[in-house]
Every structure is written in structure tokens, then in C-alpha cells.
Chains A and B, each alone.
Chain A
Amino acid sequence: MRTPRDPQILQAIRYSQAMQRARAVQLTRRGFLGATGVGATALALAACAPAEKKELTPAKDVSASEKTLTWDNWPAYMDEDDAGDYPTLMGFENESGITVTYNVAVDDNNSYYAKVKDQLALGQSIGADTVCLTDWMVARLVRNGYLQELDHANIPNIANLSDSFANPDFDKGRNLSLPWQGGFAGICWNKEKVPGGLKSVDDLWAADLKGRVGVLSEMRDTMGLIMLNQGTDITGEWGDDEFANAMDAFTEQVENGQIRNIKGNAYLNDLQSEDTYAAICWSGDITSLNAQAGDKWEFAIPDAGGTLWNDTFVVPMGATHKANAEAVMNYYYEPEVAAELAAWVNYVTPVNGAKEAMDAIDPELAANQLIFPDEETLSTVHVFRTLTPQEENDYQAQFQKVLLGS
């Protein structure tokens, strides 16, 4: 830098520079002290966090005095009329006098869990008295003791629970959870673009579908179908080797560009925009998509079998309206109500007698195997066995690695 010749100017510059430096030092010192203080506070707070898990106890039930219920559920999982109201839910409100706040708040098991896990662990309210999550997530909540026991005396209609849902490995006898709706993961295709149809997962890897196949970001469904295709019994005893084999097949199809995209609920947009012609998908969605955008798609359970899952009511420890939640469960286990709901959402109902009730409303729907599967259909679908936490960590990490291309 050029130095100014005029000594007066020079002095002025030096003075201002010194002032600036002095100020900078002051600010830094103050900032440092502040930062240290906050750091200490944060550390203290972190130290207060519960290090050890303690037994959680149910929150006090105030259902008798407060006739309200908050219920978190997945999108498109409740019958809706043209005005956007929920007819069956309004029926419940009129019958019971309980005001229900129904939130479409669950878009993904993992991200919902990530949102409420701290409250769950502390036994605090998660903002909902009951929520419907998928069975494998419910298994995790059961394992950690986050759920209140259901009083079967308040749910007499539990007698209508279908046998195939009555005794899952994580909750024998359904003392902590009750199925809401179930469904299958299978394969679907665009009838105009794939006139021959598809029979197995192998057909998805056909050369003329390159770059036109979508699969689900729900690990258990995508990997489950691939494992079934490889002859693994996903319900039974299988381990790292079987999973690794399926992972190899999956990785290959992602890397060679056969699989275009891996998505959650948004896979329906790709089918509709015809970015994908075929996909691994959920049974009820295809019926809704056909109703919405022209009868173009078909769903099938692959020859080697499909997966069966169900979304399940639970009441977390922090919920204060358990009896009201039980009342709503009981209501949806009335066969007539279950039939009305199933006619709209097109998923498998766990309620016995709903099929007979549906015969009266719409005999064609009553014969629909995707809503009222018979023994034969049920024998082709399988439940992905419950994973241990270590397996879950490991498998999810492998699966995400492919999804992120890392």
C-alpha cells in the first residue's frame, strides 16, 4: 500500500486504526465471555438429559371430563365427502359426543418418529392421543415401553378382529395396539405402456422398462419383494446373507439405471406423469389412482409373493384421552363402519363381518381381493419379520447408502 506523505494524514490514519483495533479487541473479549457462558449453560443442560431409561407410567386419563380426542393419521386414510368432511368420523362424533381433531400428520414412519421421539422417551404428550403407525414401528414403540395398555373392556368390538391380525410377534393378544388398515406391497404397471402385464419382480428388470421403473423408499417393501423373489421366506428365520443377496440385486438395478427413482408416497406422481411405467407399489393406491386419473394401471401380487403390513392404532404413555381413543377404535370395529371406510380407502380391513356388510353396499367391492382378501390371497402375502435394533440400524444404513448413491 502507498503511504501518504502528509504527516497529519498519517497520524489520522494511525489513530483511526488504533481505535478500530481497540474496539475489535473489546468486542472479542465480550463475545468470548458470552460464548463461554452459553457453552457452560448448554453443557449443563445436556448433562441434565436423562442418561438412564426409567419405567414410564401412563398419564392420567381425563376422558370422562374432557370429551375430546386428537388423532394423527396418514393421508387419504379416511373416507371423505365432496365437502371435505369425514362422514364416518362425523358419525362417531354424533354417537359419542366426543370431538375429534383428526390430523393428517404422518407422512413417513421414520420422520414422524424423529419428530416425537423425545416426548415419547420422557412419557410426555406427543400432541396426539392416538396415532396409526406401521407395524414395524409399533414394534419399536412396544419394545421401548412407550405405549399404554388398551382396556379390552372398552373395546367390545375387538371380537371382530380378524385372526390373521390378532397375534403379531411384537404384541401377542393385541394388548397395546390395534390394526387400523392393512395392505400389500406388490407390483403395478401402466396398461397402455406395458400391455403384456407383469408377473414377477424379475419382469421389472426387463430391458424395455429400463429407466422406467420406480420402487418404494420403504425398505421393508422394496427389499421384502426382492427377497421373496430370491426365494427367502421374509417372515421366517433369515439373516445378513439373505439381506446382502437382495441388496446386491437392488444395487445393481439402481446403478445400471433400470430403477428410475426410489420414493415414498410421491411414486404415484411418477406413475401419473409416465416417468415410470411400472413400480413396486401399495395395493390401495392403484385403485385410488385409477379412480382419479383414468383406468390405466393394474396391481398384482408377484408370483413369488408380496408383503403384508398394517397401520396400527397406538396410545402413547403421555396421552390423556385413552378411553376416548378406545371408543373410536371400538367404533371403527363395527362391521358397517369398517365397510364404509374400506369402500373409500381401498385397503385391507382387519374387521370380520365388514365383507358381509360390504355385500349390502357394493357387491363388486366385496369381491375385491385387495380389500377383502380370501385365504388364498392371504397365503401369497407375507409379513417382514421384526428386526432387532442392530439389524435395523445396519440394514437401513445399507439401504440409504444406495438411495443416496454414496
Chain B
Amino acid sequence: MAFTAFASTPAVEQAPKKRSFIALVLLLPGILYLVLFFLTPLISLVITSFQQPVLDGDIGEYQAGFNWQNYVDSVGEYWPLILRAFGFALVATVLALVISYPIAYVIGVKARRWPLLQSLLLTLVIAPFFISFLLRTLAWKQIMSDEGPIVQALKAVAILPSDGHLTGTTFSVIFGLTYNFIPFMTLPLYATLERLDLRYIEAGADLYASPFTVFRKVTIPLSMPGIVSGTLLTFIPAAGDYINASRDFLGSSSTAMVGNAIEANFLVLQNYPAAASLSIVLMAVILVIVGVYVRRSGTEDLV
């Protein structure tokens, strides 16, 4: 810490004291973009979340108001779905990390000597993106269907009871989330591990640390930025996902997540205040969780 600060001191002194007009102009597109596509929708969302129904109005008719009761109602009604969303997202994130780390390590460290192999493996990780993820999820639904090979095999070895099934279960939803977000975990991990200085690992071994200790004390801390950004890129969208848990894909009415409740309130019930308040609650909870997580994992430089 001290050394970093020392090294950057001259740079700080040379920084222009006057606010630069050019810099403002250069920032303008970015600020405009944020205002238009983030701030405006966000504010409109907040306003919607406080709306109240028009007396004797038709379906989907709401007027401006300060009906904070919307929050109480929607959380009271859907709290199990909120909990389930975060539970599923957490499990999927951990699974994705456990699966992705070895992949990223092989590509980023072991395959360093063979650039061709490295790019080939990377392509394989990215390849699923070439097909729409809706199609891929539907394909999994087909593969896991009752008369499909997986269920038949599991039944044959008595892992699944004879009336058991995979689609529409907690398993299939978490599977779908994990599968769909693995590339988002692998790529940041790869980016960090690719720059891992192998001399540190050698040094660790020279100091008589076992391979496991070296991994725990050297490799993991050095790849922490990758782990943090990978888990964030997985956890945040997974918590709000409504495709995998949708009844049309891998879910059923017993696996609905908060995203499905927001979708149903918005598109079917036309209860916009409920949908908006649920979205804001979801955002707020994610913000808190992520804030605590980033602080505790000690990578402030990352964000």
C-alpha cells in the first residue's frame, strides 16, 4: 500500500489543476448515455413503484401517488421467491466457480506454452455464445425430458425413482443457471490467471510449501480480482434471471424466482407498481450483498 502510494505521488503532482474543458466534452457522451439509459428508467421505475390504482379503473390503470404499501404488499407476497432467487443464484455461482476455475487455470496457466491450444480452448468456452441462450436452454429441457436418455439412464440405475423427473425441479433450474453463466465466470478468471507470475509459485515451492498451500496462499489471492469479478458477473444476473426458472423452460410452479414474479406482474397482471417495487427491492438487496462482498474480499481497487 505504502509503496503504491509512493510510486503514484509524482503522477498526482503532475495532474492538471484546472478542470479541463476537453475532458468534460469527452465525458459528455458517457454521461448522456448514463442519464438516458440508466438514470431516467431508474427514476421512472421509482415513480411507478409508488403509483396507486385508479378507483374503479380498468386493468393496468394506475395514477401517480405515494403508495409505499406497494413494497409491503409485494415483498409480503413474494418473499419466498426472493429468497429462492438468491439461494439459487448463490448455489449456481459457487458451482460455476468450482467448475470454471480449473478450466481457466488450464487455459491461462498450463496451456501458456501452446498459444494455439490456448486460443482453441478459449474459443470452446465462448462457442456457446454463438447460439441464442434461449435455444440452448430449450435444448437442455429436451435432453432432460422424461423420455430422454438422461432420465432413462438415471432411472435404470435407480438414482431417480421410477416416477421421478428432472425438468421443472430445483435441480434443473440451478443446472440451467450454472450452465448459462459459466462463460461469465471463466473469462474473468482466465484474464487474471493468464497474467499470473509463475515465479511466485516457484518461490512458494522453494519455501517448502506443499502444492496445496501454494495454491491456497499464492494462487488464490493473486487470482482474487478474477474471482470477484467472475462471481459478480454470475451472481447478479443469476439472481434476476427469469428464463431458466420459467415454466416454459426448465422450471415449474414450484421453482419460480423473483424474476418470474416481476414478469408475471408486468406482463400478465399489468400490476406495474408491484413489478416496479419488486425490481427495486431486488436491486437494493443485490447492491447490499455486493457491497458487503466486495468490502470483505478486500479488492477495493477492483471497483
Contacts and interface: CB of A to CB of B under 8 A. Distances in A.
Given A34-B35, A400-B264, A406 B12 contact: no
Q: For the complex of A and B, list the 6 residue pairs with the smallest distance between their C-beta atoms, beginning with the closest.
A: A273-B145, A42-B43, A12-B9, A405-B253, A404-B256, A274-B147
Contacts of A406: 77-78, 80-81, 256, 261
Contacts of A108: 267
A17 B253 CA distance: 53
A109 to B, nearest CB: 9
Interface string B253-281: 11110001100111111110000000000
A114 B266 contact: yes
Contacts of B255: 405
A273 B59 contact: no
A400 B35 CA distance: 35
A16 B12 contact: yes
Nearest to A111: B267
Contact of B6 (A9, A47, A404): A9
A274 B142 CA distance: 10
Interface in A360-406: 389-390, 392-393, 396-397, 400-406
B47 interface: yes
Interface of A: 1, 4, 9, 12-13, 15-17, 19, 34-35, 38-39, 41-43, 46-47, 51, 108, 110-111, 113-114, 117, 140, 143-144, 210-211, 217, 254, 260-264, 266, 269, 273-275, 389-390, 392-393, 396-397, 400-406
Given A13-B2, A38-B43, A274-B146, A404 B81 contact: yes
Nearest to B80: A406
Contacts of B266: 114
**A contacts with B: majority SS:** helix
A404 B260 contact: yes
A58 B11 CA distance: 67
Nearest to B261: A404
B12 to A, nearest CB: 5
B contact residues, range: 35 or more
A47 B255 CA distance: 39
Nearest to A41: B40
Nearest to B43: A42
Q: Which of B12, B253, B269 has the most CB of A within 10 A?
A: B253
Nearest to B13: A15
B247 interface: yes
B267 to A, nearest CB: 4
B295 to A, nearest CB: 15
Nearest to A404: B256
Interface stretch (B90-98, B115-123, B163-171, B195-203): B163-171
A274 B39 CA distance: 47
A397 B8 CA distance: 59
A403 B147 contact: no
Contact of B254 (A9, A274, A389, A405): A405
B63 interface: yes
Given A17-B5, A400-B264, 6 more contacts: A13-B6, A35-B39, A210-B163, A397-B269, A403-B253, A404-B261
B64 interface: yes
B272 to A, nearest CB: 9
Given A42-B40, A274-B147, A217 B63 contact: no
A19 B268 contact: no
A262 B254 CA distance: 11
A20 to B, nearest CB: 9
B57 A111 contact: no
Contacts of B60: 113-114, 117
B159 interface: no
A46 B35 CA distance: 16
Interface string B108-148: 00000000000000000000000000000000011001111
Contacts of A402: 253
A19 B268 CA distance: 52
Contacts of A19: 12, 15
B148 A273 contact: yes
Contacts of A144: 58
A130 to B, nearest CB: 22
A41 B247 CA distance: 39
A397 B59 CA distance: 11
Contacts of B6: 9, 12-13
B256 A405 contact: yes
B58 A143 contact: yes
Contacts of A266: 248
A392 B59 contact: yes
